[in-house]
């Protein structure tokens, strides 16, 4: 401290002065022993910049030394607190992202192992009015059931399509309300999107219905939100590639990959894209891949079932069905 000037006001004195080159802003001094302090003549004996607190000794009018505690915020204290909270926010974000990634990675190999001998066809981002009716017809022709992970906002606009999926004996799963990227949102917004999705799909999806995270992105907070409602989640072992913008895989290449793995959980899509040649090719790819995979399942003796049935049939214990995940291809829409 430089020597401060004190103006007496009841039991409180107001200080003006400097700590080195840092101004002391709006600081107050209170005489704890209280005895007519008219001025501070000594320097601070202690300073804690992290909390902006200084302790000084001053002479008292009664011959005793009083203790004056000055409390306020210096520039150093403000910078310290901002750095502390900023580091906390960054750490929370990192823990959220890494926590979700670790959980998904931990389940990846397990899901691939569990999927041997099974074929689980899943379709994300519907309902749709163009490719979906054709998909239902293909699945019916093969006598197969699939799982449709629907966006709740779209489902509310096309409830008849959701009814058609359910009436055909297929499973409806949750995919959030609006297909958000959980890692790019504030944690509570991603959790709210999950909750809104379940609420809007309640006609077809139970409170603990199966969920697939949009884009395959799972964070610690979305994982906890699903655990809290008792909902299982599942990603995929193989990406069908129907939304790849560059180098879309050949149908035969995808089928060979699934055969090499002796089955799998396949990611495809049933949403309506912008009308055009690209969307037409995507829809044709989805339909052709569905046919080819079901033919392969027949040839190799795989069990074809919904995602929920797969989890129940392959769970070693009931608790194991609570969380099952696999890492998806980064270029997938999901």
| pLDDT tens digits, 214-266 | 988 888 889 999 999 999 999 999 999 999 877 778 999 999 999 999 999 99
Say yes or no to pLDDT of 148 above 70. Answer: yes
User: Distance between CA 61 and CA 58 in Å, rounded?
Assistant: 10
Task: Give the position of tokens 């180098």.
Answer: 247
pLDDT of residue 82: 58
**249: its two tokens:** 């895989």
Backbone angles phi, psi at 79, to 5 degrees: -65, -40
Say yes or no to pLDDT of 100 above 50. Answer: yes
The residues, ordered by sequence, that sit 6+ positions from 147 with a Cβ below 8 Å of its Cβ are: 120, 121, 122, 123, 170, 171, 172, 173, 210, 306, 307, 308
At residue 210 the predicted structure's pLDDT band, cuts being 50, 70 and 90, is very high
Length of the chain: 334
Alpha helices for the chain (secondary structure H):
75-114, 131-142, 152-157, 159-167, 187-200, 220-229, 251-260, 277-300, 307-314
Region of 4 please: left (phi>0), alpha (psi -120 to 50) or beta: beta
Q: DSSP letters along 278-334, please?
A: HHHHHHHHHHHHHHHHHHHHHHHTPEE--HHHHHHHH-SSGGGGS----PPPTT---
> Measured between alpha carbons, how far apart are the two ends of the chain, in Å?
61
User: Distance between CA 234 and CA 32 in Å, rounded?
Assistant: 63
Per-residue pLDDT averaged across 6-34, rounded? Answer: 35
pLDDT of residue 253: 96
Q: How many CB atoms lie within 10 A of CB 282?
A: 22
Domains of the chain in sequence order: 1-108 (no CATH), 115-321 (3.20.20.370)
Our measurement of the distance from residue 259's CA atom to the centroid of its chain's CA atoms, rounded to an integer in Å, reads 32
């Amino acid at each position: 401290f430089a020597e401060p000037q004190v103006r007496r006001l009841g039991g409180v004195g107001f200080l003006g002065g400097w700590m080195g080159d840092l101004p002391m802003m709006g600081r107050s001094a209170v005489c704890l022993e209280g005895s007519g302090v008219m001025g501070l003549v000594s320097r601070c004996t202690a300073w804690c910049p992290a909390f902006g607190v200084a302790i000084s000794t001053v002479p008292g009018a009664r011959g005793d030394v009083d203790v004056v505690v000055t409390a306020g915020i210096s520039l150093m204290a403000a910078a310290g607190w901002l750095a502390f909270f900023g580091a906390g926010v960054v750490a929370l974000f990192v823990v959220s992202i890494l926590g979700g990634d670790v959980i998904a990675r931990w389940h990846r190999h397990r899901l691939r192992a569990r999927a041997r001998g099974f074929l689980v066809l899943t379709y994300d981002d519907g309902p749709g009015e163009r490719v979906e009716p054709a998909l239902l017809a293909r699945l019916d022709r093969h006598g197969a059931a699939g799982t449709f992970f629907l966006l709740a906002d779209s489902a509310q606009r096309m409830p008849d399509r959701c009814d058609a999926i359910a009436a055909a004996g297929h499973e409806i799963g949750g995919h959030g309300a609006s297909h958000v990227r959980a890692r790019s949102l504030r944690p509570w917004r991603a959790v709210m999107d999950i909750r809104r999705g379940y609420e809007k799909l309640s006609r077809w999806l139970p409170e603990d219905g199966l969920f697939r995270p949009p884009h395959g992105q799972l964070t610690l907070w979305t994982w906890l939100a699903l655990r809290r409602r008792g909902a299982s989640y599942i990603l995929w072992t193989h990406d069908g590639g129907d939304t790849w913008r560059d180098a879309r895989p050949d149908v035969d290449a995808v089928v060979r990959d699934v055969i090499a793995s002796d089955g799998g959980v396949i990611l495809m899509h049933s949403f309506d894209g912008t009308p055009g040649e690209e969307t037409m090719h995507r829809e044709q790819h989805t339909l052709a891949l569905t046919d080819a995979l079901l033919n392969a399942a027949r040839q190799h003796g795989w069990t074809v079932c919904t995602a929920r049935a797969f989890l129940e049939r392959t769970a070693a214990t009931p608790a194991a069905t609570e969380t099952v995940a696999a890492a998806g291809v980064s270029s997938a829409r999901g």
